[in-house]
Amino acid sequence: MGDRERDIEAIRAFNRIYTERLGLLRPKLDRSPFSLSEARLLYELAQGDTVTAAELSRTLGLDPAQISRTLKRFAGQGLIETTPHPGHGKRRVLSLTQQGQAAFAALERNTRATIGGLVDSLPAFRARRLVAAAEAIASAFEASLPPVPHLRSLRPGDLGLVTARQAILYARDYGWNAEYEALVARILADFQESFCAERDAAWIAELDGEMVGSIFLVHGGTADVGKLRLLYVEPHARGLGIGKLLVATCIAHARALGYARLDLWTNSVLVAARGIYERAGFRLVGEEPHHSFGQDLVGQIWSCDLRTGAGRGEQV
Amino acid sequence: MGDRERDIEAIRAFNRIYTERLGLLRPKLDRSPFSLSEARLLYELAQGDTVTAAELSRTLGLDPAQISRTLKRFAGQGLIETTPHPGHGKRRVLSLTQQGQAAFAALERNTRATIGGLVDSLPAFRARRLVAAAEAIASAFEASLPPVPHLRSLRPGDLGLVTARQAILYARDYGWNAEYEALVARILADFQESFCAERDAAWIAELDGEMVGSIFLVHGGTADVGKLRLLYVEPHARGLGIGKLLVATCIAHARALGYARLDLWTNSVLVAARGIYERAGFRLVGEEPHHSFGQDLVGQIWSCDLRTGAGRGEQV
DNA sequence: CTCCTTTGTTGACTCTATCAACAATATAGT
DNA sequence: ACTATATTGTTGATAGAGTCAACAAAGGAG
């Protein structure tokens, strides 16, 4: 039913398929004398970060009893050696012997070959998607800190991506047709071709390296009036203050470039943006109904006087 | 070093992280009386597709001995019942009892809650990416058939995506600057705004539902001369005949619309495209050096006479 | 009717996973 | 200094997983 249910079902389905294919539950790795737990233990020891049995137990989530016995077996096979911990009599510092490192290296080659075989078994196109998705999942889990939005300047492809995202979002949410996509494409083509660093600027908002919003500062017919254009924030990235950050950055830059006023054109249906503009110091100066993008809309012109304190963030 | 090495490393890293977080190797699922193998077995029985012990052994990849013992234990707990197989005395048809279905339902709730907790533990933004990536991986494995390219018409966002992909590819491979991206954006804005179904058309090539190429048929100044524009195929989707398919489709449609000739403008550095044009029946009619997109290039005009047999596929 | 395959069971054994008990050491509070 | 408490590592006991081998019952191909 709900989004959450569907998400859970998607992950479960993925889980099943992945488990079957990667053989994660195969305790004995193919052609290797080590069980999965042993292999993980060896891996931790080879990394050299975890050096006591208690640490291994915590990092790997294994029972201390099992660790103790496994280590004893490894010591008997000459794979590891222990030295007393300086300043703590009970602890024992663990390290791989030469032989242990060799065993680990063999294990590494083995896993690599297994995964390599998996990758090769897929058509090249799907293998690429698999790797990309794997990286996405790993990065989603790896980062312990919550994602922090940050702004960057334009890169190749940004003009197109902004066009695509806005077209898709407004088509989905408001039924706007391809006329709007063409308008955005033309605005951005004009922006790029008449770009002048003293009068124009653009920022892309990113979250975890993914584009989630944009804003453009464009010169108009009048020298001291700039235009704010194409502000948008991805729905799933809203509520993080990204819109506010984009508008504030744009206003500050416009002021730094010497603009006296900043105008923008928007539509009344875009209520989320409206709030951002108001709080940033914009005032509604005109409204006019029009039929565009296949819909009946009310266009709005907002204006922000940059010579007053407006937009300096005092109305936070 | 190589791409393949990096792919393998990415999947390994993913594997480790995922294993730790989803607890796939925890044989005893949290707060559940069933081991992972038992749970998988119950799942298969609940689906109702696999109904004999031998089938379970094959689908789950488990040892027949283990299956036999687990089933005996389940039968002892009143979770399953067996009926003789019609027409095969040795086989036994397995099914969950009322009690077994209840146990499975509880297990399901449990798993859902666990995964739900995992999803909830991530910031909403990352949770979305996780789900998207999970779906991508599942679909990469699930499909047994190799991906088949197919063409579709335009959807919202396509103009922008085509712009973005071409800008990124040509920036990466040939160092073209944003001037090119602006050109593509303008071409597509013009295409959309002057679109006329009797004279214009566009196709997007897809592989596994992902855009991997495009082509545009555009009317020009002369009524009976059409223009082929913005052909491209993603590097990782090349060698599948997608470029040829796009061009052939475009030519066929141009002919159907009554065009007498098809022209295209390209650059000499795009050698892959050149071969496609030649084989489709285009002939080089003019070349001219120019400085564009930050590079010294040689522009080419190719032309295809639609009144002869050219482009009908006889030069396959 | 014989040979071979499929299906299911049982025995034997190793290893994993887990719980409980316990000893050695370190630390914090009084 | 002394005591309570936590941490670290070990050992015993036990259920189940996983594997290999042997084997019996049934069916099918020649």
Tell me what the mean pLDDT of segment A106-133 comes to.
86
pLDDT of amino acid B25: 57
Q: What is the homologous superfamily of the domain A150-305 according to CATH? A: Gcn5-related N-acetyltransferase (GNAT) (3.40.630.30)
pLDDT at B120: 87
Q: Is B256 helix (H, G, I), strand (E, B) or coil?
A: helix
Q: Which of B13, B156, B181 sits opposite A160 (nearest CB)?
A: B181
State both tokens at B5.
Answer: 């090495």
Q: Which residues of chain B have pLDDT under 70?
A: 1, 23-31, 309-316
The domain made up of B3-142 has a fold known as Arc Repressor Mutant, subunit A (1.10.10)
Q: In the structure, how far is the CA atom of residue B91 from the C1' atom of nucleotide D26, in angstroms?
A: 9
Dihedral sign, Cα of residue B99, residue B105, residue B106, residue B108: positive
- Judge: B111–A21 Cβ closer than 8 Å, yes or no: no
Is the pLDDT reported for residue A1 higher than 80? no
Task: Determine the pLDDT at residue B315.
Answer: 42
CA of B99 to C1' of D26 (A): 31
Contacts (Cβ under 8 Å, ≥6 apart) of B131: A7, A10, A11, B119
Gap from A46 CA to C30 C1', Å: 45
Is the per-residue pLDDT at A41 higher than 60?
yes
Q: How far is A304 from chain B (nearest CA, A)?
A: 29
Q: How far is the CA of B66 from the C1' of C13 (A)?
A: 14
The tens digit of pLDDT for each residue in A220-231 reads 888 999 999 999
| Contact partners, residue A248, CB within 8 Å, separation at least 6 | A280, A311, A313
Query: What whole-number distance in Å separates Cα of residue A293 and Cα of residue B169?
Result: 30
Q: Give the tokens for residue B210.
A: 């992902």
**Pairing of the two strands B261-267 and B295-305:** antiparallel
* Residue B137 pLDDT: 86
Give B138 or A164, the one with higher predicted confidence.
Answer: A164
pLDDT digits (tens, 9 = 90+) for A50-76: 778 888 888 888 889 999 999 999 988
| Spans of all domains in chain B | 3-142, 150-305
Query: Who has greater pLDDT, A204 or B61?
Result: A204
**Confidence category of residue A32, pLDDT binned at 50, 70, 90:** confident
pLDDT at A121: 84
Average pLDDT over residues A221-244: 94
- On chain B, the residues whose CB falls within 8 A of the CB of A8 are 112, 115-116, 119
Nearest to B104 by CA among B32, B24, B50: B32
pLDDT at A40 over 80: yes
At B283, list the tokens: 């002939």
Q: Specify the long-range contacts of residues A81-85, CB closer than 8 Å, at least 24 apart.
A: A85/A52
Q: Give the mean pLDDT of A213-222.
A: 94
Test A236 with B119 for CB contact under 8 angstroms.
Answer: no
Token pair in block for residue B289: 């050096």
Averaged pLDDT score across all residues of chain A? 89
Integer Cα distance of A4 and A49 in angstroms: 37
Residues of B in contact with A178 (CB under 8 A): 154, 156, 159, 192, 195
In chain B, which residues have their Cβ closer than 8 Å to the Cβ of A136?
A: 129-130, 132-133
Residues from chain A contacting residue B131 (CB–CB below 8 Å): 7, 10-11
Judge contact between B216 and B228, C-beta under 8 A.
yes
Distance from CA of B288 to the nearest CA of A (A): 23
pLDDT score for A316: 37
Give the side-chain half-sphere CA count within 13 A for B101. 6
Q: What is the pLDDT of residue B141?
A: 80
* CA distances from residue B206 to A37, A127, A164, A166, B150 in whole angstroms, order as listed: 42, 16, 17, 21, 5
d(CA A180, CA A190): 15
Task: Answer yes or no: same fold for B3-142 and B150-305.
Answer: no
Which of these, A130, A108, A109, lies nearest to A18 by C-alpha position? Answer: A130
Q: Which of B162, B163, B186, B212 to mutate to test the interface with A (most CBs of A within 10 A)?
A: B163
Out of A38-42, A241-245, B94-98, the most confident range is A241-245
pLDDT band of A281, cuts 50, 70, 90: very high
- Are the beta carbons of B129 and A132 closer than 8 angstroms? no
Q: Which stretch of DSSP H or E encloses residue A202?
A: strand A201-207
